[in-house]
Amino acid sequence: MSGKEFFINRYRQLGWQFKPVQARQAIRINQSNAKGKNLPERLRGLGVELEKIPFLEFGYWVGKSKVSAGATAEYLLGLYSIQEAAAQIPAALFSNLKNKPALDACAAPGGKTVQLADLMDNRGSIVALDVDRRRLAALTNHLERCHIRCAVVYPLDARRVSGLNLKFERILLDVPCSGNFASDSEWFSRRTLKDVERNAKVQREILAEAVKCLADNGEIVYSTCSLEPEEDEQNIDWAIKNLSLQVQHVDCRGDAGLTDVFGHQLDESIAMCKRIWPAETQGFFVCKLKRKAGQP
């Protein structure tokens, strides 16, 4: 159960007609560092074509460019991050992050950690975890480059986070996933349904562990860049039934989450999740969760 035809047929059954796409390069301006610096004009002065992304507050598409967006002085000074457009959505979905202890459970390479810090005015606390030492180096370089002062990083598997004995009011679960063909040209030859199911199991374990650390009235944002419903809607359906979580309305780009997956009916509230089929962005899935009222 693998191969391009197999997956394309699944997407068709889910209501989407496959078309080959490649996600556009995007940047996100780090407000804490770039405030008052008129960064878009500075970059245009260097020969970088920029186009405001209509569904993001601080995001720009990068068009033709005389220089590499990852090698300008402005990038090295942390004035902006290179961050795929759909990947800029999850951190922006939390309601008021300021003064809320936050957890970024699968943090490397750090784009979303930096974004969370930026939304928190670089104050308060973010606990950022990752388990891979090489990825931790990328994460900490990112934090240093962007002058982040409110994050603490542990080399820890997200499935063990309750061992920190901390409660968080905002938890970002941008979980490890199977990815999608728009950001990996070899995706169809690399992935099988078995990989998807294995990832879905790990994602459920991370969700279950995160709930143990969620403060009363706290929020979880769950996201993947997978198009496979096992990692998306079906995991959220499982979380609703097993972790006493409920889906919250979010206002962002994307189609309604699927409630009929290959003939299986899922909880109706999953329609409030957002599924982004690849077009200008890569594929993405995002969902905001809270505890059901009256649940410990």
Residue 177 CA to residue 224 CA, distance in Å, equals 6
Q: Using the rule CB under 8 A, is 152 a contact of another protein?
A: yes
Residue 288 CB, nearest approach to another protein (Å): 24
Beta strands, E only, 30-125: 48-52, 59-65, 80-82, 102-104
Q: Using the rule CB under 8 A, is 3 a contact of another protein?
A: no
Q: Using the rule CB under 8 A, is 149 a contact of another protein?
A: yes
Active site residue 225: yes
Active-site residue identified among 225, 252, 273, 287: 225
Residue 251 CA to residue 129 CA, distance in Å, equals 27
Among 4, 123, 194, 241, indicate the residue that binds another protein (CB under 8 A): 123
**Site for another protein, residues 85 to 114, rule: CB under 8 A:** 101
Q: Using the rule CB under 8 A, is 153 a contact of another protein?
A: yes
Q: Using the rule CB under 8 A, is 37 a contact of another protein?
A: yes
Rg value, the chain, Cα: 19
Q: Using the rule CB under 8 A, is 257 a contact of another protein?
A: no
Of 22-30, 71-79, 176-184, 258-266, which segment contacts another protein by CB under 8 A? 71-79
- Cβ neighbours of residue 140 closer than 8 Å, sequence gap 6 or more: 110, 153
Single-letter residue type at 65: S
Among 124, 179, 218, 254, indicate the residue that binds another protein (CB under 8 A): 124
Q: Using the rule CB under 8 A, is 1 a contact of another protein?
A: no
For the stretch 240-246, contacts whose Cβ atoms lie closer than 8 Å and that sit 24 or more positions apart, written own/partner, are: 240/267, 240/269, 240/270, 241/267, 242/208, 243/207, 243/208, 243/211, 244/211, 244/291, 244/292, 244/295, 245/211, 245/220, 245/289, 245/290, 245/291, 245/292, 246/289, 246/290, 246/291, 246/292
1 or 76: whose CB is closer to another protein? 76
Please name every residue paired with 173 in a beta bridge, in sequence order, or none if there are none: 222
Counting residues that bind another protein (by CB under 8 A) gives: 31
Catalytic residue positions, numbered: 225
Return residues touching another protein (CB under 8 A): 37, 70-71, 73, 76-77, 101, 123-125, 127, 136-141, 143-145, 147-155, 164, 166
